[in-house]
Chains A and B, each alone.
Chain A
Amino acid sequence: MCALASFGFVLAAHASRAAGQAEAPRKAELIQLVQSSQSNVNTLDAAVRRLRSELAAAELGQARTERLSADDARRLAQLVDAAAASPVAGPGLTVTLSDSNNVPTGTADSSAYRIHDQDIQLVVNSLFAAGADAVAVNGQRIGATTSIRSAGDTVVVDLRPLVPPYRVDAIGADRDVFLRSDISRRFARWTTEFGLGFDVTSQSHLNLAAFSEPVTLSAASPAGG
């Protein structure tokens, strides 16, 4: 019972500390709005993934009932896979990037102590170069239209902010090839110089979700069709 009461105190203290970190009341409000909006987006995203997998199943089912050739059904499935629109699994690598814990206060070049969008971009690039079939950042699958950018200090994948640490999963990436890559070697220096987190772990089984970002292609269409 005392433990529960102290629980309550820990939670309350934590909440007020977090609120105190924001510089102005307006900013604290914005931060809360971002967090609740993020939670809303996560829920909607889960719904989209469910519906997409139901649709894929229904399409395959219909292909069977309409007796489309096994070839056509297979080609549709391959197209879905090639567009990163299906969940995949397999062995690979997980690269975890994190900001430094020892940031010198009040210096202008504190940016070297944080992970930037370009760091993540280059890690993703090098994982594909190392033979990755599929890559995801914090669970978000990288597709043909996925952008990794930043707004201020926050890294944003497509329109969604990322919560650090940044976990990049890659199925099929060769660990040795990746460790020899340019970005990997740069990080090896940066971990000692700035205390950035860079961890490369082999995984025997990774599960990557389908690319769930709603994309309405309004300009591009297949040529000659």
Chain B
Amino acid sequence: MKKIFAIGIFIGVAALSCYAQEKKTNTIPSINIKKLDGSTMNSDSIRNDGKPLIISFWATWCKPCVIELNTLEENYKEWQKETGVKIVALSIDDTRTSPSVGPFINGKGWDYEVYLDPSGDFKRAMNVNLVPHTFLINGNREIVDQHTSFSPGDEELLYEKIKRVAAGQPLEK
């Protein structure tokens, strides 16, 4: 048992040091997800022609997620005009609530591209623990920023980051 633990720690450290040296950014993994019409598509098809892209993991039953997407919606038209950003709302609703995702979105009047991940494959590949979990992706499909949870006001910080990404500037740490 001790041996395994030691090996585990060793790998962790080794892997992390490799990772640090590389300074490579993670990109979006290629995973099969579902469209609202029930057909399958690959996450590779989520694109925004080199402009900033936001993927927000959410669920119809998650209150802060709905508050976040409502807040982003209020700014979406303006943000699109200024930066060309596209927002994708990726629902992790399971088959209990996934049939009502389409009606829910329309009932709210949201303008997002919406996909489903009922099996959780994409959620796991993106290391999403809790929702909301929102990713900011640059024109090279690299994940440049991510955050979990949402408080009113967070959208202004997000927009600052979107503007930098749209202008091809690096994000401050």
Q: Do A and B come from one complex?
A: no
